[in-house]
């Protein structure tokens, strides 16, 4: 199985924040994540795949308590939907994608989102 680790130099907002954004502000944020993912996936030479597993680790700047379903929904909109739009996976349904709950950690010096993409 081939795998890639993609590092996005930002952390996702909570789903509550994301869904409260004005539609234009939300679309801009989604496009920024899409661009970041496109850049790091091209640099890593990610290949389109029929089935994939996605595991995310989010390193936040602070050790504040966060709600996993909130983070999961934000990652779905920002990461998984971008992988589909970029053509790396055909769809985000269970026949094509398996993904686990995100891991949340702290790195005050380097907040980021690490995406482990595994070809099945």
Q: Domain with 73 in it: what CATH number?
A: 3.30.1330.70
Q: What is the pLDDT of residue 2?
A: 94
Q: What pLDDT was estimated at residue 1?
A: 81
Number of domains in the chain: 1
Give Cβ neighbours of residue 111 (< 8 Å, ≥ 6 apart): 10, 11, 59, 60, 61
- Is the distance from CB of 115 to CB of 54 less than 8 angstroms? yes
In order along the chain (120 residues), what is the average pLDDT of each group of 10 residues? Answer: 95 91 96 97 96 96 91 95 96 94 96 96
pLDDT at 3: 96
What is the span of the domain harbouring residue 42? Answer: 3-119
pTM of the complete model? 0.91
Q: Positive or negative CA dihedral for 74, 39, 7, 62?
A: negative
pLDDT recorded at residue 99:
93
């Amino acid at each position: 199985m081939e795998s890639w680790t993609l590092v996005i130099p930002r952390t996702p907002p909570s789903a509550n924040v994301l869904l409260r954004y004005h539609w234009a502000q939300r679309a801009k944020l989604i496009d920024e994540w899409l661009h970041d993912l496109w850049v790091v996936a091209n640099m890593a030479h990610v290949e389109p795949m029929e089935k994939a597993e996605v595991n995310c680790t989010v390193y936040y700047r602070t050790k504040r308590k966060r709600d996993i379903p909130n983070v999961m929904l934000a990652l779905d909109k920002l990461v998984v939907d971008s992988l589909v739009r970029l053509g790396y996976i055909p769809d985000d349904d269970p026949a094509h994608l398996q993904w686990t709950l995100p891991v949340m950690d702290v790195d005050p010096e380097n907040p980021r989102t690490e995406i482990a993409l595994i070809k099945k």
